[in-house]
Structure 1
Amino acid sequence: MLQAGIVGLPNVGKSTLFNALTRTRKAESANYPFCTIDPNVGVVQVPDERLEPLRAISKTHKVIPAAIEFVDIAGLVAGASKGEGLGNKFLANIREVDAIVHVVRCFEDDDIIHNMGSIDPLRDIEVINTELILADISSLESQKEKLVKKARGGDKQAAENITLIDRLLPHLNENRPAITLDMTDDDHVVLKRLCLLSAKRVLYACNVAENDLADSSGNPYVAKVESYAKEHHGAGICVISAAVEAELIDFDDAEAAEYLESLGVKDSGVSLLIRATYDLLGLASYFTAGEQEVRAWTFRKGMKAPECAGVIHTDFEKGFIKAEVVSYDDLLVAGSTSGARDAGKYRLEGKDYVFKDGDVALFRFNN
């Protein structure tokens, strides 16, 4: 299962957000730096409004959503790449995740300490980015020393790595993350081998006060983060309120809906954040739907039919023959599986078919 790491400076709301995402109090949350030391890991269901209509069509009571993992990582401070604070631990933990949810404080509150003494989300973002970049520079310089000898001996892969490293180092030394370097598809293959922190995709989670949740357009901090994300990463942002999420943890569905309505919103922001993170990880869902259960299966965008069959079981991929596929929209219009078949909306797809988000599938395979 792919993981998204929740990162940020100390005291920006990371652990509170993690608790909200996992609907637990697994991560300690307190008003002092480095409250989180060892990373907390939680499996989170991906909200999907398509599951309930599929359940009704299939006449089943069992629904299994897709899921991803979030990791709550210790707060980072300036100098982390040199071991300041919990820097070494932070960098080791973030290296293990597949994408980054960067929590940025976008609210004023004199009662909650900011470790840098003031609220400035762009400065906070740059502190994190700089430390990731410095760690990457150190890593690449070390890797290059080891690769030179191999390249001289005719190792083609080592030579490819060095070529990209020589392009990356000047880019990183201009304090620009690896993800912003203009690269070909072949370069991206090499980039994965280098295991760089600043090459990970990023989603900025703007943590706002509860009175900004309904409409954050008047929050100047959010506007700055949104502009920065577009200019520097082509990254997305999501507005959440960790304080609101902390309140919702102990509420049942009816109480939560009533509380959110009092704030002028229908969704707390967590559902949007989970779905945005799912997309950030390059993931999508296809469905199987029958009398026994409706289930969302996670696949990487671009995967072909046999690979998607293998998500269910490796035998499905090995013995793949065909996939019966209907789009969710077509099935919904038809109102039933038989109706979709009668309307000619079911298709038989072969090994080269690239699955799409929302496909409803039944696989044919040899045992």
Structure 2
Amino acid sequence: MGFKMGIVGMPNVGKSTLFNALTRTAAAQAANFPFCTIEPNVGEVAVPDPRLDKLAGIAGSKQTIPTRMTFVDIAGLVKGASRGEGLGNQFLANIREVDAIAHVLRCFEDGDVTHVDGRVDPVADAEVIETELMLADLDSIEKRRAGLVRKLKGGDKEAVQADRLLSLAQTALEEGRPARTVEVDDDDAKAWRMLQLLTAKPVLYVCNVDEGSAAQGNAHSQAVAAMAEAQGAGSVVISAQIEEEIAQLSPEEAEMFLSEMGLEEAGLDRLIKAGYTLLHLQTYFTVGPKEARAWTIPEGTPAPRAAGVIHGDFEKGFIRAETIAYDDFIACGGETPAKEAGKMRAEGKGYIVRDGDVLHFLFNT
């Protein structure tokens, strides 16, 4: 289990180039004209985590299986997308299927790459896309509330809850605020997610800069970072051009290339880390001679639900979890030495899994 991130943006911001580089494929056509990507392209990448390799090395695992992240490359949005401009309705429907939105913004100057509005202003671009998503949500809310009238008259509890939440979202949108600014009680959290409002999804702004600005960013990316901070959103600086070059290199060559560019890690690593932070995700591990494997879960996940990520039967028949903290596993040199040192704990159903836990689940079949 990883998570699915939709890559959106206006045409010619480097969105498909970034997708190609990140997924190491040429599936998405990168061309210098609007709407070259008609169908959403889906690609999966392994989530880099050096901890997994260290665990596998100590345990002598034959196979290493990282958790995965899914990118969905969604064709460029333009002003009027909520009314169907530029095949907008089709693109908006694809956004509903993702966990978070990576909004790629053009933060580079290049006379050879046209901008659909003839200027480079990433903050204005972000506002255009946000407005279109908000308009699409408003249209959806009005239709859905109209469809609930009969059930509301009958006192249907789920309809009453849905209408109340839709009303809260509508008020926010009419005030010019995205749905993610609405505070929802824990009792309403599931119903709120089921609404699948576009502007309720977390947003990560991806500043696509030129090669020379990849390490420190530039004035455009700084403006985006300020906007993101004001919104409580995330932002990350990436050069799609550099990522495209890295995609063609061996790991050793890529490391040298990054060092020459003054970068500590690839844009993919930074993007995934920012995505994990945005969605409040963490990783736990299962380790043995057969395989060492990473699993992604939300922060605050209890042990039975974490076990269910592996298999539903693990959650249903959960007895207990034997857990060793990552640092203890490494320091002791493996499961047996950690157990002998008293570092292995038996935890019950109420245990909240921590990032880096090495877990072994006991369950009834």
> Shorter-normalised TM-score: what interval?
over 0.9
Matched, 1:41 2:39: no
Alpha-carbon distance between aligned partners in 2 of 1:193 and 1:214, rounded to the nearest angstrom: 39
Per the TM alignment, residue 20 of structure 1 is displaced from its structure 2 partner at its CA by 1.4
> Counterpart in 1 of 2:151?
150
Q: Cα RMSD (Å) of the superposition?
A: 1.5
Q: Deviations over 1:138-178 (max 9, x none)?
A: 11111111112211111112112222222322320122100
Q: How many residues align?
A: 364
In structure 2, the partner of 1:296 is 294
C-alpha displacement at 1:262, in angstroms?
Answer: 1.9
Q: Decide whether aligned partners of structure 1 residues 207 and 182 sit closer, same or farther in structure 2, where only a CA change above 3 A counts.
A: same
Instruction: Find the aligned partners of 1:51 and 1:259 in 2 and give their Cα distance.
Output: 24
Distance 1:137 1:260 in 2: 44
Letter in 1 for 2:98: V
Tell me which residue corresponds to 2:101. 100
Structure 2 residue aligned with 1:231: 230
- What are the superposed Cα offsets for residues 319-347 of structure 1, whole Å, 9 maximum, x if unpaired? 22111001101212222222211221110
More displaced stretch, 12-21 vs 258-267: 258-267
Letter in 1 for 2:145: K
Q: Are 1:20 and 1:249, in contact at CA under 8 Å, matched by a contact in 2? A: yes
Q: Report the alpha carbon displacement of residue 285 of structure 1 after superposing the two structures with TM.
A: 1.4
1:358 partnered with 2:359: no
Structure 2 residue corresponding to 1:251, chosen from 245, 249, 252: 249
Q: Secondary structure at the match of 1:356?
A: coil
Separation in 2, partners of 1:336, 1:3: 33
Residues 188 and 60 from structure 1, CA distance in 2 versus in 1: closer, same or farther, beyond 3 angstroms? closer
Instruction: Give the TM-score of the pair, scaled to structure 2.
Output: 0.96
C-alpha deviations, 1:34-77, integer Å up to 9, x for none?
11110000111111110121122112242110102110000000
1:128 and 2:129 correspond: yes
SS of residue matched to 1:86: helix
**2:163 maps to which residue?**
162
Q: Would you say the 8 A contact 2:106–2:209 is kept in 1?
A: yes
Structure 1: distance between partners of 2:155 and 2:61: 60
Q: Distance in 2 between matches of 1:60 and 1:204?
A: 38
Output the CA distance in 1 between the equivalents of 2:164 and 2:308. 36
Specify the alignment match of 1:17 in structure 2: 18
Structure 1 segments, 4+ long, off by >6 Å, are none
Q: 1:365 to 1:166 in 2, by over 3 A?
A: closer
Structure 2 portions without partners, runs of 5+: none
SS at match of 2:148: helix
Matched with 1:27 is: 28
User: Which string of whole-angstrom CA distances, capped at 9 and with x for unpartnered residues, describes residues 259-313 of structure 1?
Assistant: 2222122322211102322343443211111111111122233222122222222
For structure 1, the residue ranges without an aligned partner over 5 or more in a row are: none
Q: Give the drift of 1:13.
A: 0.9
What one-letter code is carried by the residue in structure 2 that aligns with 1:239? V
Q: Report if aligned partners of 2:184, 2:192 keep a CA contact under 8 Å in 1.
A: no
Looking at structure 2, the residues matched to 328 and 143 of structure 1 have their Cα atoms a distance apart, in angstroms, of: 47
CA distance in 2, matches of 1:188, 1:321: 28
